[in-house]
A and B are shown apart, each in its own frame.
Chain A
Amino acid sequence: MELFWELLVSGLLVVGGFFGLVGSYGLVKLPDPMTRLHAPTKAATLGVGSVLIASMVYFAAFKGQVTAHELMVTLFLFLTAPVTAHFIAKANMLRDHRPEDLPRPEGEGDWAVYTPMSDTSAEELVETPELTDEDRR
């Protein structure tokens, strides 16, 4: 049984190190900013996640300390990685792309990055039909 836990922890550590390295190598290697955004936010997050799970398994199997701290860190990283990627992509759009070069988004309005002061949600509120007495019946 001990061998199984050792194999599991070692495998998770090797996979985590590999993916962390691949994510950071992609940051150096890939050609343009939007593809560079792709590598670390996915691969590096996966690598760190498997390292954290390896740590959790290690402390549970060999030290007798069953904790959920690592799961908290993993959850936090997995929740925040898309948010940071989205923010960096928006900043990149604003700095490196002109709105004429991009396809228009669906529906009314333009990309919110280029028209920050417009409030499309207010127009949507006006356009939604109010409930009449017949609908309520």
Chain B
Amino acid sequence: MIGYALAFAIGCFALALLFNLYRVVRAPGVTDRILALDTMAVNAIALIVLFGIQEGTAIFFEASILYAMTGFVATVAYAKFLLRGDIIE
């Protein structure tokens, strides 16, 4: 039963990543691109964790933590660059 739920969740997040990719490529404004990239990072974290459940190892959590941190810093740096034209003043 967990196997079916796992397959469903992986499919959902894969489809969600495709939606995000569409929004990155065809976005009306640059802030939508940043938002889509941030959501891609969040969905990738979910996929990493789901792959960890499937493989039965706890070794992927470090990867997901690193992904969360770099995703957050990248999004804030990008938004800050748009706001001020500079990241660290």
Give chain B nearest CB distance to A31 CB in angstroms.
Answer: 10
Give the docked Cα–Cα distance between A12 and B59 (Å).
21
Give chain A residues whose Cβ lies under 8 Å from the Cβ of B62: 69
CB atoms of B83 and A96 under 8 A apart: no
Give chain B residues whose Cβ lies under 8 Å from the Cβ of A65: 58
Number of A-B contacts (CB under 8 A): 163
Interface residues of A in 41-73 (CB under 8 A from B): 44-45, 47-48, 51-52, 54-55, 58-59, 63, 65, 67, 69-70, 72-73
On chain B, the number of residues with a Cβ less than 8 Å from chain A's Cβ atoms is 52
CB atoms of A13 and B8 under 8 A apart: yes
Name which of A37, A44, A76 has the most chain B CB atoms within 10 A of its CB.
A44
Give chain B residues whose Cβ lies under 8 Å from the Cβ of A69: 58, 61-62, 65
Give chain B residues whose Cβ lies under 8 Å from the Cβ of A73: 45, 49, 61, 64-65, 68
On chain A, the number of residues with a Cβ less than 8 Å from chain B's Cβ atoms is 54
Residues of A contacting B: mostly: helix
Give the docked Cα–Cα distance between A7 and B14 (Å).
23
Name which of B11, B31, B64 has the most chain A CB atoms within 10 A of its CB.
B31
Tell whether A90 pairs with B79 under 8 Å between CB atoms, given A36-B32, A58-B2.
yes
CB atoms of B83 and A87 under 8 A apart: yes
Residues in B lying within 8 Å of A, measured CB to CB: 1-2, 4-6, 8-13, 15-17, 19-20, 22-23, 28-32, 34-36, 38-39, 42-43, 45-46, 49-50, 52-53, 56, 58, 61-62, 64-65, 68-69, 72, 75-76, 79-80, 82-84
Residues in A lying within 8 Å of B, measured CB to CB: 6-7, 9-11, 13-14, 16-18, 20-21, 23-25, 27-28, 33, 36-37, 40, 44-45, 47-48, 51-52, 54-55, 58-59, 63, 65, 67, 69-70, 72-73, 76-77, 80-81, 83-84, 87-88, 90-92, 94-96, 113, 116
